[in-house]
Structure 1
């Protein structure tokens, strides 16, 4: 394997000159640059990334912490990151917490020990322990999906979860639905567990609509949990005429339960969700949902992190992304 010393000898220049050409730093005459580049082309020399990282103190690797690798949300967000990082010569190292919030802290520490240049965290919570761990991080961290409340220094890319849920509720009510059940998640997840639920409650109160005792149920993002939540809603009240699921996957679970009970969608019960997943388009009837630009979230998070790494001024601390209501046949 060729080394910088070999390239310098063949080109008749110093190792410092070769290093400057490779790193595009310092002054080199055009004549010397051409000599080095000609030898590199002739020999097919590829510089060692490890050796380069020792010189520049950069690994060109970004750690990305996902709640689940297999979800449509995660894959689309990572696709957006790859567009930006790939153009700048960065690679992504993925880890998954499997929705275990304790592992978010564990993986933050793990990635720092792997000497990544920065970290993007698709967070499921922003409790005090996690925020403190981000503050202590030796590398910059950008959070996607959760606003870091009470901290003005941790950059975040968030969706308008309250606005999206309010828009869905107004759509349901405008279409004549009044007895609306809700399937959410635990309140440790502020975006999905708190803001979306609050928009549901506020809309019901705004229109003077009663919320039945069993109409608010909690799942864990999975289809099975949506099924069980729907079962609890309808076992407590058979006259519910619509189900608002905080995620498409839990909405699909509600679909399964309603079909088992031989209830037609939307003739007997309407179902709406959030996420605009691939499955929500292809189930029958297709589900009305809210579409988030997950690829844009990934691109935005990557751009913010690169700006921080490059020492740019005026990096945004919070970036709020818009949503789009996708009306289909489930209401």
Structure 2
């Protein structure tokens, strides 16, 4: 590959002239510009990204950390970010933590060393170590899905969405409602959605069977096993299940169908996520749509504000949601 020195020699100009042509800065005679552009076209010369970043102090790269790349939530988030970032010439460097807390910290450090122009973190497990790490980051930063003081956040209204789902089941006549949740260290999905469920049940003076409250992890098989525990460990069966994610709900529905329970006639099922498959399973799943692509766009916009102003941000955006009532209730 040609160097800038070789381009200058072939065009019979100085290296500084080639540099001015490449960066479109400073005076260059029309004849010299045409010679340089002709040589660049003939050689296919591409300026070094690393060299350019040293000059401009910009890499034109945004680091994005997601808990898993296997879900529609992550793919929609990243699609929304890319829609905004690409307009300003930015590329995304994607890091997948696989729900691993240590990986999250490692990737933050790696992106810091790589000197990316900004970082967007789709966070799950908020802990003191992570917060301390985030507070030491020099790059513009936005966190999606979890509220952290002093940092710009794009938030989902987890509490009210879960409240509405629980109230929907109650209004449909259900009083025997089970719950499949996740670790409460995930404040948004684990803690807030469970709290909304419990608060709404209490408000309606409905008791909860202890065995109907099960904890799972973020996959279909875990939802299946949680539903199995609810059925097998209780003499009395629930008439409805609130699973905190679509994947858990789909797992629960698989178990119910395989053991001759009719959904929704025997057991109604609701969840949060609005994944594509939720509309196409039988019966279609009642769920909440958080419009994740919009969340990605809003996060990218917040980040670009920080990049352009060169100031850190602490703005919070709370997104709305849509309740999609389908055949599972």
- Is this a same-fold pair by TM over 0.5? yes
Q: Displacement of 1:138 after TM fit?
A: 3.2
Residue 299 of structure 2 corresponds to: 301
CA RMSD in angstroms comes to 2.2
- 1:120-164: per-residue Cα shift (whole Å, max 9, x none)? 11111221110100111232222111111xx22x11111111111
Structure 2 residue 105 is matched with structure 1 residue 66: no
**Structure 2 counterparts to residues 208-223 of structure 1, below 5 A:** 208-223=205-220
Question: How many residues were matched structurally?
Answer: 327
CA distance 1:33–1:131, shift in 2 (3 Å):
farther
- 1:172 and 2:172 correspond: no
Q: Which runs of 5 or more structure 1 residues have no equivalent in the other structure?
A: none
Asked if 1:245 corresponds to 2:250, the answer is: no
Task: Label 1:237 to 1:201 Cα distance change in 2 as closer, same or farther (>3 A).
Answer: farther
Which residue number in structure 2 is paired with residue 15 of structure 1? 15
Partner of 1:310, secondary structure, is: helix
Structure 2 distance, partners of 1:279, 1:105, is: 32
TM-fit CA distance, 1:264: 0.3
What TM-score do the two structures reach when normalised by structure 2?
0.91
Q: Is the 8 A contact 1:13 1:32 kept in 2?
A: no
Kindly report which structure 2 residues correspond to 1:257-272, keeping only aligned pairs within 5 A, or say none.
257-272=255-270
Distance 1:164 1:32, change over 3 A: farther
Q: Which residue of 1 aligns with 2:253?
A: 255
Aligned in 2, Cα 1:141/1:313: closer, same or farther, shift over 3 Å?
Answer: closer
- Which SS does the other structure have where 1:157 is aligned? strand
Residue 64 of structure 2 aligns to a residue whose secondary structure is strand
- Structure 1 residues 21, 258: CA separation in 2 closer, same or farther (over 3 Å shift)? same
Q: Does the alignment pair 1:157 with 2:154?
A: yes
Q: What is aligned with 1:83?
A: 83
Tell me the distance in 1 between the aligned counterparts of 2:86 and 2:59: 14
Of 171-180 and 266-275, the range deviating more from structure 2: 171-180
Compute the displacement of 1:10 (Å): 5.4
Counterparts in 2 of 1:71 and 1:33: CA distance versus 1, 3 Å: farther
**C-alpha distance after superposition, 1:58-87 (max 9, x if no partner):** 222222211111111111111112222222
Whether the aligned pair in 2 keeps the contact of 1:218 and 1:229 (CA below 8 Å) is yes
Superposed, 1:35-74 pairs within 5 Å as 35=34, 36-37=36-37, 40-41=40-41, 43-74=43-74
- 1:132 is matched with 132
1:142 aligns with 2:130: no
Q: 1:311 aligns with which of 309, 317, 323?
A: 309
Residue 178 to residue 310, structure 1, CA distance change in 2 (3 Å): same
- In structure 1, how many angstroms separate the alpha carbons of the residues matched to 2:317 and 2:6? 49
Tell me if structure 2 keeps the 8 A contact 1:275–1:291. yes
**27-36 vs 98-107, which moves further:** 27-36
- In 2, Cα distance between the equivalents of 1:178 and 1:28? 78
Shift of residue 53, structure 1, vs aligned partner = 1.6
